[in-house]
Amino acid sequence: MLLALGLDAAAESVYRQMLAEPGWGVLRIAAHLDLSEAQVRDALDRLFELSLVRGSADHPGALHAVSPEVGLSAALARQQAELARRQQEVAESQEAVGRLVDQFRDARGNTSSTVTELTGMDAVQDKLAQLARETRFEILTFMPGGAQSLESLRVARGNDTALLERGVRIRTVGLDSIRNDPHTLAHARFLTDNGAEFRTSPVLPPRMILADRQAVLVPIDPANTRKGALHLTGSGFVDSMLALFDQVWEIATPLGAAREPAREGISTQERALLDLLGQGLTDEAAAARLGFSTRTARRMMADLMERLEARSRFEAGLKAAQRGWL
């Protein structure tokens, strides 16, 4: 019934039971609803994320189910705000893409500039295979999104193998979070073991592939790369993307090296999360930029608030700045 608000059947059942029996603990709720303890705890995590459950002020260490009048109304308001935000992002993305396409399609004074729209993943994979055949000396890549799917890694390994066998130099920057994913990390190590270079960074610009410093492949919609890509040529655009890549590459951490050590108790990912949230990004958007789940971002933020002894995210930001973390 409440799936649209982010509550699956288990979370809704646990929420209803907590409202009916406020004093029940995890084990009793699990037995009554015929759920495992792990399922109940996952449901509680989700309820906590949606602010439908909070720590009890009357019984420290216990959880309190927020009344539906307050909790569900707030959840509905968040959903409406999120929908409006996404609609605005789609509109802005479409406008930006339109301007980009018009700029390169109608470029004046540089007749060599071209833009080709590749719609859908089949077209993109065909272009990647072509680049693997035709690139002569260098491929530069931003790989945001964190852990990659097994299918994407399979396709990438085939293309990268073809490039490496011809002596093409490959430099790739992925997110720090891929170090925690065995499959994506194995692919990165495959690259470095075969002569490529791979570095990681807490955050990255949108996905990009730059071939032979002559052509660039970028997503039509960075928020949904499955829509397709733009294949762009022209010195103005290529030079700008090359400068961006070089800047990110210089501050990224080589795969074989340890990530930047924690500075006074805060990791690079935690600092990046604080910075993104401070810029006004939602938990979902910040997590996507960092390459991990929204739940991980929220747990990380909750841990930071506890360490900072902050009662709100705003106070956490102030205290982090006072400590020199930002």
* Whether domain 261-322 has CATH 1.10.3720.10: no
**Torsion over CA: 109, 112, 117, 121 (sign):** negative
* Whether domain 112-254 has CATH 3.30.420.40: no
Structure tokens at 152: 């994407």
Question: Can you give the pLDDT of all 326 residues of the chain as single tens digits?
Answer: 555 556 678 888 888 888 888 888 888 888 888 888 888 888 888 777 777 787 777 777 777 777 776 666 666 666 666 656 655 665 565 565 555 555 555 554 444 568 888 888 888 888 888 888 888 889 999 988 777 888 888 888 888 888 888 888 999 998 888 888 889 889 989 988 888 899 888 877 888 899 888 888 888 887 777 888 888 887 777 888 888 888 888 878 887 655 444 445 677 777 777 777 777 777 777 777 777 777 877 887 787 777 777 777 777 777 776 666 66
pLDDT at position 262:
45
What global pTM score does this model have? 0.51
| Residues 6 or more apart whose Cβ sits within 8 Å of residue 154 | none
What's the burial of 124, exposed, middle or buried (CB within 10 Å: 0-12/13-18/19+)?
Answer: buried
pLDDT at position 140:
93
pLDDT at position 171:
92
Instruction: Give yes or no for a contact between 274 and 290, defined as CB atoms under 8 angstroms apart.
Output: no
Report the alpha-carbon distance of residue 179 to residue 200 in Å, rounded.
9
pLDDT at position 12:
82
Report the alpha-carbon distance of residue 313 to residue 308 in Å, rounded.
10
Torsion of CA 261, 265, 268, 270, to 10 degrees: 160
Structure tokens at 154: 């399979």
pLDDT at position 108:
44
DSSP 78-145: HHHHHHHHHHHHHHHHHHHHHHHHHHHHS-SS-TT-EEEEEESHHHHHHHHHHHHHH--SEEEEEE-S
Instruction: Give yes or no for a contact between 71 and 52, defined as CB atoms under 8 angstroms apart.
Output: yes
Report the alpha-carbon distance of residue 22 to residue 308 in Å, rounded.
30
Residues of the chain with CATH 1.10.10.10: 1-106, 261-322
Report the alpha-carbon distance of residue 41 to residue 288 in Å, rounded.
24
* Whether domain 1-106 has CATH 1.10.3210.10: no
